[in-house]
Chain A
Amino acid sequence: MTLIRQTGYMTVRHLRELLRQPWFVAVTLVQPVIWLLLFGALFKRIVEIPGFHAHSYIGFLAPGVVVMTALFNSAWSGMALIDDLNRGVTARFLVTPVRREALIAGRIIKESVVVVIQSLIIVALALIDGATFPGGVGGVLVLVAMSALVGATFASLSNGFALIMRQQDALVGAVQFIVLPLTFLSTTFLAANLMPGWIRHVADFNPVNWAVVAGRSATSASADWGLVASRAGFLAVLLAACLAFATQAFKAYQRSV
């Protein structure tokens, strides 16, 4: 009960920061919009390749861009924590009875809220651009939930790294090292059966791909709910592990002070 209440207080703190800079969400959408609209236009005819099995590329690409945006934004979540470390805010909380889980969870929930808002905006843009989601509202909600799971997972990972590295330069390096390979080693841009075999095998173990595959299936005309459920389950387990890692990382931070 205390943990839930404390998490609530911390979430409010982070959401308030967000409300005070509403343009932040808009600015972070610039990149995905470029991917969606320009990349979507450039490779429009890629669906004509035999074996692609998609009606329009924008409809194929949109779930990928939704998940990619969740990844790109939440992976930077630790930067704000490093600000807090440098400003002494985290140390101040650590000498109070506040639970460490609440300090992490507040940030994760805030990132998830941002991801949900961004995902809905991207879906809307894709619809305007001519995409269709035969899976309907339910399918889109599953896609958004998948991207929220990816957001929460990588936000946890990023906060854990932040507590261990404690330097923004180091975190920037780690995030860039992780984010692009995870995006390209997935079916975000290209159907699995057109990818080289080794990438297809790597993608099976890529959490970003789990979300893309599940989201794409849920929004399609014939959703494979078994696939969706299994990928959601994988992501949930990974999220739990990343949350535990981030909470434990406070110990590494406390050893350094």
Chain B
Amino acid sequence: METAIEADGLVKVYPNGVKALDGLSFSVMPGTIFGLLGPNGAGKSTTVKILTTLAKQDEGGATVAGIDVAKDPDRVRRTIGVVAQGSGVDVQATGRENLRLQGHVYGMRGRALEERVEELLERFGLADAADRITRGYSGGMQRRLDIAMALIHDPQVLFLDEPTTGLDPEVRADMWSEISRLAGEEGKTVLLTTHYLEEADQLAAQLAIVDRGSVVAHGTPEELKAELRGDAIEVDLALGVGELNGSVQAALQRVDGIREVVVDGRVLRARADDGGRALPSVLHALETSGIEVASVRVARPSLDDVYLRYTGRTFGAAEAEASTPEEQS
């Protein structure tokens, strides 16, 4: 089967010298939700900008619905719907006016357009607010309008760049069911970028983890988690690692069944086939090395652990790192 989206070795360097993409590749099958997971600044938005013809790659190639994005951007534009990071709603116009203008630019007119506008307003719960200026909309309403606008011309392929960032948990859950429906009932291909691990876990059939401009792992969320083989052990230390000089690693190397020891600030993470069973030995080893422990957790593998495994950093630490220009634009 032909892929709906194909990115092949994308490289993008911004004029200020920041390398946002460094050979990023992935492919998406039609009718599925594909998640690009990564912290802010990993290159997700840049990828979306290239695939949606807003930006041009410096190297590599990409196709959407079989069309080359660099060679034939206008045909790509007719095929796709885009919900960008942050809202693209005209806040001085009403919801209906926003939808109508969006339809107009795709050449829709007259009754067909009015009916489509009405249908989308109903579907996204905006019918009552349709004739109000969108400046007064809540964040969730603006986001729903963004998605409705992206759908006006019934696109084959939909790009959602961090669609639920900044939304309340309840609104986020509603958004998730709406996104699932787009791929499920309507058969659309959805490319979703997110820095929420649970969102990727919940929605994406296939997932690519992006770090520093390239894909470091891909598969289904289950496959990625299964590769980890074992439980995560997290130990909060009383002192930071700087003061410990690597003695933590040394202490734990002696414990059976413990692997992938990483210390991140005051948190020590390790992996064990059976976390509960390994825990007493871990604590004992730390105690004999004179390392004071504040608290301990054992958890089943999560996507956060997957991320840690492939990048050597936790998701939170990566998020805290300096962001690239894509987050400012």
Contact = CB atoms under 8 A, between A and B. Distances in A.
Nearest to A93: B105
Given A2-B107, A87-B88, A255-B55, 9 more contacts: A13-B93, A87-B86, A89-B90, A91-B54, A91-B88, A92-B88, A95-B54, A97-B78, A256-B14
B329 interface: yes
A32 to B, nearest CB: 25
A97 B105 contact: yes
A9 B329 contact: no
B102 interface: yes
B172 interface: no
A5 B113 CA distance: 15
Contact of B101 (A9, A87, A95, A255): A9
Interface string A89-109: 101111111100000000000
A256 B16 CA distance: 9
Contact of A254 (B54, B93, B97, B101): B54
A175 B139 CA distance: 34
11 contacts: A6-B105, A13-B90, A16-B92, A87-B87, A87-B90, A88-B87, A92-B88, A94-B53, A96-B77, A96-B105, A254-B54
A12 to B, nearest CB: 8
Contacts of B182: none
Interface size range of chain A in the complex: 20 to 34
Interface in A16-34: 16-17, 20
A90 to B, nearest CB: 9
Contact of B105 (A9, A91, A256): A9
Contact of B102 (A6, A17, A84, A96): A96
A94 B105 contact: no
Given A2-B107, A91-B54, A254-B54, A97 B90 contact: no
Given A88-B88, A95-B80, A257 B105 contact: no
A66 to B, nearest CB: 28
Of A13, A91, A95, A98, most B-chain CB atoms within 10 Å: A95
B102 A91 contact: no
Contact of B54 (A6, A84, A98, A257): A257
A257 B49 contact: yes
B97 A97 contact: no
Interface residues of B, number: 33
The 4 A-B residue pairs with the shortest CB-CB distance in the complex, in nearest-first order = A92-B88, A88-B88, A98-B105, A9-B104
A6 B56 contact: no
B108 to A, nearest CB: 11
Of B53, B78, B89, B90, most A-chain CB atoms within 10 Å: B90
Interface in B314-329: 329
Contacts of B101: 9, 13
Interface string B67-107: 00000001001101010111111111100010001101111
Contacts of A94: 53-54
Contacts of B77: 95-97
B292 to A, nearest CB: 49
Interface string A219-257: 000000000000000000000000000000000001111
Contacts of B280: none
A16 B92 CA distance: 9
B52 interface: yes
Contacts of B242: none
B169 interface: no
Interface string A192-232: 00000000000000000000000000000000000000000
A88 B86 contact: yes
Contacts of B82: 92, 95
Given A6-B105, A91-B54, A97 B74 contact: yes
B15 interface: yes
Nearest to A99: B105
Given A254-B55, A254-B56, A88 B104 contact: no
B92 A17 contact: yes
A62 to B, nearest CB: 33
B91 A255 contact: no
A87 B14 CA distance: 21
A88 B78 contact: no
